[in-house]
Structure 1
């Protein structure tokens, strides 16, 4: 994990990297982005909005409230309707949890809100902490992904390795997600990361940290300190459901996160970079995917399906990514995107695509 000093030594802050991706002939794009967009168009595409940032959060938590309301209603119906209704409710809850994660991703780029304080603090407490995430740590981690996409130093490489795989292997992966095995492993890893025993990551990659100079109680203090914001936000969520008379819905929130959310994160990760060419060209190492209403509700919230456009213009806020995609398509710069179903078929095709090592 890099700290700010190390990032400065690498030559750029995240904001400067984003600007370079727009204004310079960076090796990541292999061509000038100004050959695709005029400077006036770039100014439009990178314009941020506090109103749209607030709308993303209100829309997401409003969806959570609506889903909880419908689950509470369906639970009072006959069992043949209540049981599948609650399962479907957890499915869509996981989609809103993914939406919270994508909001955190956008805030890490400083594009969710125009106001810096709202990007950092409001988003951290309303979106990151309820999911046991940390905006500042995620930003440092994600910074490396954007500067090293398509190389062996990409920290998200573990999410794209091994694809395409066989249909049987893909089925086993999703079975582990939906059974909760991956989710439980994630929770254990999060405790160890908060304890300072594992390096902080969102990919599940295990890197043990030295403990020789630590006293026995220091990991315990670290866990308590680091997990307190998560506990506060989740106690508030549980308390709201308890006061509404449906405390059991919080269990649905947890189960959704340990099961469906993990499967949706896998789909999202596969769609973005898996089975793409291994080189530094972001027109080739990243994928945009076509998303209908169901995909947007479950695996592609907040414009995350426009991932190639995001890597091309990383300072473009979520509500302008579709515009960037349309402009690039009109200019023949990006291919026609596949659907998520087509991506899944590619991932389970069992035929490895040739990789190109970075120069």
Structure 2
């Protein structure tokens, strides 16, 4: 089982250059977590005061929900705080949580990036796909179908397959334990907002972004990072893609410098807030042309959806290209 090739910082940076890049701040990581929650709170407050702003708030909140997941990802690398206990506490209590299991899984992805043993390989292997297939996936994301499949379909199936006489309580108890944070957040938010007439705040301003905008931008982020990269790629500068992101893309699609994914795979312990500086130094040293990069997210999506649609004898798309493609972006 061969691990993916890796690079050494000393091959690209002097010790004086590398030290500030790899240094973990005691305040920047926590400040980013606070920033995510403050943006969520402000967007929700504006939407409650001016309901016409709800669609915009859903996009902003969904992007910060992804941002919290990105910060948990940083914590999986021990990059959210120099004290590992503080690092893990922040991730387990102020981001989506489940850090220990996620860290084990995700470090396996880094160890075997784009190799046969990469646990994330199935996410990038199906690409390129057709434009029609990509559109159908985005529709499933924005209509909550992806969210339902990932978060609730298993429970519904378990309930529907319950044998006659089998008690219902153990199933519901296990489901409640598995979704404890979700339920606590729901109860706490409704308890705070309902007395002021905003009983709808939690389903509209937390659940709706989580079930629609978040799955879509998570899909687009995954596509940008690893789609259309060859399996068993030997070059460690091409295991992941860095995508240029403008201000709107950083606000609604790629928060907290997640677009610098090639640099992240090259130097996975560099905190996210140091990735732009890492990018600039590599560019100044002439390394950027050897790295896998894209000028923007639309460019990546065009490449990822470039497979021609197959047609039957009547000139109509085949069943496969009507969207029945066996790929799941999580």
TM-score w.r.t. the length of structure 1 is 0.76
Matched, 1:181 2:145: yes
Q: How does 1:37-186 map onto structure 2 within 5 Å?
A: 37-75=13-51, 82=52, 85-128=53-96, 133-186=97-150
Name the residue aligned to 2:295.
Answer: 338
Quick check: 183-192 or 149-158, which moved more? Answer: 183-192
Say whether 1:228 aligns with 2:180: yes
**Does the 8 Å contact 2:30/2:90 carry over to 1?**
no
With 226-235 and 152-161 compared, the bigger mean Cα shift is at 226-235
DSSP-derived class of the 1:50 partner: coil
Instruction: Answer yes or no: is the 8 Å Cα contact 1:287–1:308 preserved in 2.
Output: yes
Unaligned runs of at least 5 residues, structure 2: 159-166, 310-330
5+ residue gaps, structure 1, are 1-9, 11-25, 76-81, 196-214, 353-359
Give, in whole Å, the separation in 2 of the partners of 1:319 and 1:190.
37
Alignment correspondent of 2:192: 240
| Residues 283, 334 of structure 1: 8 Å contact kept | no
Asked if 2 retains the 8 angstrom alpha-carbon contact of 1:149 and 1:280, the reply is: no
2:246 is equivalent to residue 292 of structure 1:
yes
TM-score under structure 2 normalisation?
A: 0.82
Work out the CA distance in 2 between the residues paired with 1:341 and 1:57.
28
Aligned mate of 1:268, from 221, 227, 233: 221
CA contact (8 A) 1:145 1:155 kept: yes
How many Å separate the matches in 1 of 2:224 and 2:75?
Answer: 21
* Alpha-carbon distance between aligned partners in 2 of 1:139 and 1:351, rounded to the nearest angstrom: 38
* SS of residue matched to 1:175: helix
User: What SS does structure 1 have at the residue aligned with 2:115?
Assistant: coil
Separation in 1, partners of 2:12, 2:249: 29
- For the residue of structure 2 that corresponds to 1:321, the secondary structure is helix
2:255 aligned to which of 283, 296, 301: 301
Tell me if 1:277 matches 2:230.
Answer: yes
Q: 1:317 to 1:32 in 2, by over 3 A?
A: closer
CA–CA distance in structure 1, aligned partners of residues 86 and 190 of structure 2: 25
Offset of residue 220 of structure 1: 5.3
How many residue pairs get aligned? The number is: 296
Show the counterpart of 1:318. 272
Q: 1:241 to 1:107 in 2, by over 3 A?
A: farther
Q: CA deviation at 1:106?
A: 0.6
Q: Once superposed, what is the RMSD of the aligned Cα atoms?
A: 2.6
Q: 1:57 and 1:262 mapped to 2: Cα distance?
A: 20
What corresponds to 1:357 in structure 2?
A: none
Give yes or no for contact 1:165–1:350 (8 Å, CA) kept in 2: yes
Whole-angstrom CA distance in 2 between matches of 1:134 and 1:251: 23
